[in-house]
Structure 1
Amino acid sequence: MTPCPHRLPRRLLATALAASTCVAATDGLATQAATAPQLRTDPARRIFPAFAAERARPGRPSAPADVLTVTNCADDGPGSLRAAVAAANDNDEIDLSQLTCSRITLTTGAIEVDVDSLTLTGPSRYHLSLDGNHLDRVLIHPANGALTVKRLTIENGRDRATGFHVSGGGCIASAAFLYLDDTSVRSCYAGGEGSYGGALYAYAVTLDHSIVSGSVAKGVHEDAGTAAFGGAIFTYNLDLTASTVSGNRAVHEVRDGRTSYDIGGGIVTIVGGNIRDSTIDSNYSEGRGGGIATFNPLLLSNSTVSGNVAADGAGGGLFMRWPSTVRAVSSTITANRASAGGGAWVEADGSALYSTIVYGNTADPTGSPNLQGRTSLTIAGHHDLIGPGDGSLALPADTLGDDPLLGPLRSNGGPTRTHALAPGSPALDAGSNVDGLAFDQRGAAFSRAYGAAPDIGAFEQGAPVLEPTAVPGLSARVAMLLAALLGGAGLACLRTRTRPTVAERPPRHR
């Protein structure tokens, strides 16, 4: 095994690199270090378990085994959420949707989910919050299945480890699979000699139409070096869809003569994963990887990485630690900052960019603002727009380099914020659609290809909105789902009744 040249204590590195990323990437998970720090005394029920082998993702039951209803907003006692979770069996659902209060404030500590799989369902993330009260985590799940949280806000969780102990998952910590659906997680904190996930720690994290924001992973110790991994999320497997990770920080307490290793202001994923139709923005690392740090292959599709900062290290937007690679498709990486590789830092051959913008990032005077590698590397792909970068990187022959004229990051429709293209942008009609995407980052119903060809980046200018009457007898939601399943050809068919004629359609300004 090749040594990993990092500046943090070996025990912290062993925990973070549980997937053994100092050797070549594998399809599965490697064994986690047997000496991984425990967050519980029972070796069979701990948040940092010793993974003997890759773990199969549990299927979601078509119906819960039983539904337990929460009838009041008390911290404990009959009818409370805590009592319902304690009474639950495997694969049950806890129903909070009938509550009329806006907040459940925990005063006696985190709620522990001891069954393997459980679902918590609220009325809406805008109407009900589970509040950790800055005293403890909100949820802890030291089990083997899947914890699912739907239509809730989880906030104000705190995990502060003392001495030579580590913290993780300031709001939710799970030894297994964590699914968040239409859920917000915010204002969480994890601090310790090593801190893993200011908001979320789990073996695998899946976010769908969810938001993780305003959370902090902080390395804190009076007399030792520290590490902070993932201001928002630390996980082994990552899967994000139509979600936002924004305004999180991986930082450390400054101590004279003590070192720190801070990485992944937004996300650290050890085995890599997938980010689709999502925005990673305004995250901050005092070390490397302002937005995302990955130690194995990552797919970035139809997504935006914007305004992230690696204050004292490489990779403002993306930090691709060897041997990881990135496959970026129809994505936009802009306004990020680092000491080197302001947009992205890569260390291994094999990365590819397709119809992707990497422009408008910044780096220190000795670094390259957009793309930079440790050595001479070849970036595969086509139809990209990439600003000035590392001359030792070989880019695709058809790469454009002019200013794409990006608008500010804001809501342009859809569940996540994007950078629109201004009229006259060289990215207009200059891209490709290598994966046959039906929609741009904003999702249904913004077509991925509009005009002579797709635009470069995550945003398609002038993308038409499909109307509910596109197919007689079908609802708009069903029409969108069919279009997504059928791809570009299906989208064109569903659109035939509503797309205006040339005479009716206003000109598309360039």
Structure 2
Amino acid sequence: MRNPTAFLFSALLAGGALVHAPQARAANIPVTNCNNTGAGSLRNAATIAISGDTIDLRALGCNPINVTSGQIVLPQSSITLLGRDRLQNTIRGNSTARVLNHTGGGTLRLTRVSLSYGRFTSGGALGGCVSSQGNVELRQSRVHHCDAVPQGGLEPSGMGGGVFAVGNVLLSESSVFANRLLGEGAGGGIGAFGSVTLDRSQVYDNMSADAGGGLDGEDVSLSYSMVLRNTSTHDGGGVTAHGNVVVNKSTMAGNDAGWNCGALCAYGDGTRSIHDSTISGNTATSDSGASVSGDMDVRNSTIAFNRETGSQCWGAVSALNLRLESTIVSRNTCDGGPDVDVGGFDFPGWTLTGSHNLIGTSVLPVPPDTIGGDPLLAPLANNGGPTRTHAIGAASPAINGGNNTLGRAFDQRGAGFPRVVGGAPDIGAYER
């Protein structure tokens, strides 16, 4: 699916050759009007800025800036766009052009701005709203309602309906939503050849006509973040990853894959962990929750209410070597036959280890101290903290049945919600 050389060649043709600007002391370049071109416009600021400068939108009294004569090219190695507020400083492509094309090899930083309604059509469609030959950082920013449309050439493909980077993508207190990849490739919301990191951010309601409905990256890290209601025609309704995966105090819910892995698909080699997190309400033909090649470590998490819609039942979570600690894997369903919570193949080479878990059904033999029964999970809700969780009922067998092998002070919700209340930790992501 990944072909970096072809993607880069197409991107360079679309954005022009790389420009190496001279270096000088960083400056603030104010944008003084919302015109598409001319003195004081964003497009003009992009042409006069050098690497390290900040293009400053904070004094604007108008909104939005409509990009009506093609994408704005940012040739600087590193450049920052600084707004006053992401709801008051919007740059729109009006569904006719990509918004920003960063051809430098450093970092494009977007702080307190929104990019929206970009559309990029190409044989190598990289980024419907923003594309970077380096890295992209979104801080208190939004990218939404953008389309990448692979079209033309012998084998059209694309990445990142909203955001694409040859390097890494970082979201901090930001959101990427309602974007689409309308053809072969990966990453309905975000696509990167490097890592994708979410910190207190949300990726939701994105769509990929191929893989990675929410996002696709080499390494993927989620912390206090949510990946919600994304869809893919093939694998990975929420996330596809090709290297390391860290899901920490985060929720992946309501994602849908036409083929495999409703929430998360991780291919190839890498370290994969899911800690203090919730995977809930995802659907796929098979592997309704998370499926990885190799090893996966899951602790103090809740994996529930995921649904397989195919004729065979592979489970809500599976890995070649799966370790579960103090985790609920229960109430997952399969349309095609008996429900399977923990999947895999019951023959040598596949292992399930750990302790203090509540598991409904498992293809693999479960650890000897595993308990069953209904965990009495309440619907997914805002129970405090930045992410959604399943509270557990007062009579749940998960209460005081878990462990805290990570030594965490708080449950999934974070500060103010102790990991241990009573004699022992509860099983799952939520401490009653």
TM-score (structure 2 length as normaliser) = 0.83
1:444 CA displacement: 4.7
Aligned 1:315-394 pairs, distance under 5 A:
315-348=261-294, 350-363=295-308, 364-373=310-319, 377-387=320-330, 388-390=341-343, 392=345, 394=351
SS at match of 1:78: coil
Counterpart amino acid of 2:291?
A: W
Conservation of the 8 A alpha-carbon contact between 1:362 and 1:368: no
In 2, the alpha carbon distance for the partners of 1:314 and 1:159 equals 28
Aligned 1:176-325 pairs, distance under 5 A:
176-192=134-150, 193-202=156-165, 203-219=167-183, 227-235=184-192, 236-251=194-209, 262-270=210-218, 272-311=219-258, 313-325=259-271
1:427 CA displacement: 4.2
CA distances 1:71-126 after superposition (whole Å, capped 9, x unpaired): 11111111111111211111111111122223111111111111111111111112
Conservation of the 8 A alpha-carbon contact between 1:334 and 1:358: yes
Conservation of the 8 A alpha-carbon contact between 2:220 and 2:246: yes
In 2, the alpha carbon distance for the partners of 1:306 and 1:141 equals 32
In 2, the alpha carbon distance for the partners of 1:34 and 1:231 equals 19
Quote the residue 2:369 is aligned against: none
CA distances 1:146-204 after superposition (whole Å, capped 9, x unpaired): 1100111111011112xxx1201101101111110011111010011212111111120
Conservation of the 8 A alpha-carbon contact between 2:177 and 2:203: yes
In 1, the alpha carbon distance for the partners of 2:161 and 2:6 equals 23
Conservation of the 8 A alpha-carbon contact between 2:15 and 2:103: no
Counterpart amino acid of 1:210?
A: S
The root-mean-square deviation of aligned C-alpha atoms, in Å, is: 2.5
Conservation of the 8 A alpha-carbon contact between 2:315 and 2:344: no
SS at match of 1:339: strand
Counterpart amino acid of 2:213?
A: G
Conservation of the 8 A alpha-carbon contact between 1:265 and 1:284: yes
In 1, the alpha carbon distance for the partners of 2:204 and 2:263 equals 12
Conservation of the 8 A alpha-carbon contact between 2:326 and 2:404: no
In 1, the alpha carbon distance for the partners of 2:417 and 2:55 equals 35
Aligned 1:16-27 pairs, distance under 5 A:
18=4
Quote the residue 2:128 is aligned against: 170
- Identity rate, percent: 34
In 2, the alpha carbon distance for the partners of 1:442 and 1:100 equals 38
Counterpart amino acid of 2:81?
A: L
Q: 1:265–1:42: structure 2 CA closer, same or farther, 3 Å change rule?
A: closer
Aligned 1:84-99 pairs, distance under 5 A:
84-99=45-60
CA distances 1:223-260 after superposition (whole Å, capped 9, x unpaired): xxxx2301111112111101111011111xxxxxxxxx
TM-score (structure 1 length as normaliser) = 0.71
Counterpart amino acid of 2:163?
A: L
